[in-house]
Amino acid sequence: MRALLLVAFLAAGGEEEPKDPAPGPSDAQLTAGRRFASQFLADEAEALKKQSTPAFLQQVGGAAGLDALSRKVRGDFGTETRLMHDQVHERAGLTVYTRLSAFSYFARGVELELAWDASGRLAQLTVQQSEREAPSPYADYVTRTKLRLPFEGPLHVLWGGRTWEDNHHASVADQRYALDLVLWKGPNTFAGDGKELAQYFCFGRPVVSPADGTVVVLKAGYGDNVPGQVNPLEIFGNHVVIDHGSNEFSLLAHLKAGSIAVKVGQKVRAGEKIGLIGNSGASTEPHLHYQLMDGLDWKVAHGLPPRFVRYLADGKAIESGEPRRLQLLTPGS
């Protein structure tokens, strides 16, 4: 994961807790918030300068400071790829616009908050990693496909579940219910100093199809990262998407370089080898990333809560369930 950026410029108003969003913000308020956000993300510092309060400009460092902040956001998070949710509410005499988005370099949601005074002049700006769940239309969804665990042998759930506390993927729409899977032995996921990929206990373990389906997306050709480094240009690295029918698609990501054993258009069976666990893409250490989606393109899809059948969780037989953070999972027979 890339380093977290937290920048806050609060040049007006107090630190009073936000009120509940007022019902029915006007179209004009949303339009104003989206305009400010677009100008900031497009690095239109001079345009923002003309619409800002003197106190805010002094704190941020003028147009040059706004430009530097915008460039830092692009450097840390990349470019905005998807607006997942936005809203307007009132706080301490200011109109506050909050925007939850996905960015090209960052596998977590990013919150941008801008606030303006009664004269319409920008007074506050905050950018930070989101620590709340993205809105989902699928909270009550029941998986139609009978999914088996997408790996062989035991693995631990590093991130998984429905809440931010259990699953830091939850702030992104397509990864809302995703899983990251590693293997701990004692306190570590690796032997030795962890500087070599081969020292990681899960590296090179088989990844299999969780159900029958057709391979509809395949991206390969990315190398495995040195532990602690990432490839920000492709979040999922070497990955495969499988269409199971019923608008359910499995994405299996960060696969080992050269290990993908299928091709686009190929029919696969549940348990059939897809590749090996690797460390490609935006991954700091070897692990398997899995998510179930309602479409084949993760950039516009929504995540679905995956229910797996017939597996062990911490040694207990589960007939059908959703894995949770820190559980030890073992595929059943």
Q: Please tell me whether residues 262 and 120 are part of one structural domain.
A: no
Q: How confident is the model at residue 21 (pLDDT cuts 50, 70, 90)?
A: very low
- In this predicted model, what pLDDT tens digit does every residue of 83-96 receive, in sequence order? 999 999 999 999 99
What's this model's pTM, rounded to 2 decimal places? 0.86
Determine the pLDDT at residue 34: 96
Q: Please tell me whether residues 86 and 214 are part of one structural domain.
A: no
- In this predicted model, what pLDDT tens digit does every residue of 168-192 receive, in sequence order? 999 999 999 999 999 999 999 999 9
Q: How confident is the model at residue 1 (pLDDT cuts 50, 70, 90)?
A: very low
User: How far lies 145's CA from each of 218, 249, 272, 318, in Å?
Assistant: 21, 10, 16, 17
Alpha-helical regions (H) of 1-94: 27-41, 45-50, 54-60, 62-77
Q: Please tell me whether residues 280 and 192 are part of one structural domain.
A: yes
* 192 falls within a domain: yes
Tokens (6 digits) for 41: 């993300």
pLDDT at 311 over 90: yes
From the list 137, 159, 274, the residue with the least C-alpha distance to 217 is 274
pLDDT at 260 over 70: yes
Q: Please tell me whether residues 104 and 203 are part of one structural domain.
A: no
Give how many domains the chain has, as a whole number: 2
Q: Please tell me whether residues 11 and 51 are part of one structural domain.
A: yes
Mention every residue, 6+ apart, whose C-beta is less than 8 A from residue 35.
none
pLDDT at 45 over 70: yes
Determine the pLDDT at residue 66: 92
Determine the pLDDT at residue 25: 59
pLDDT at 14 over 50: no
Query: How big is the chain by its Cα radius of gyration, in Å?
Result: 22
**CATH number of the domain bearing residue 291:** 2.70.70.10
Q: Please tell me whether residues 302 and 176 are part of one structural domain.
A: yes
Range of the domain at 230: 155-331
From the list 172, 111, 214, the residue with the least C-alpha distance to 298 is 172
Tokens (6 digits) for 72: 């830092």
Determine the pLDDT at residue 26: 79
Q: How confident is the model at residue 105 (pLDDT cuts 50, 70, 90)?
A: confident
What whole-number percentage of the chain has pLDDT above 70?
A: 92
Mean residue pLDDT of the chain comes to: 92
DSSP secondary structure of 169-233? GGGSSTTTT-EEEE--BTTBSBSTTS-SGGGBTTTT-EEE-SSSEEEEEEE--PPPPPTT---TT
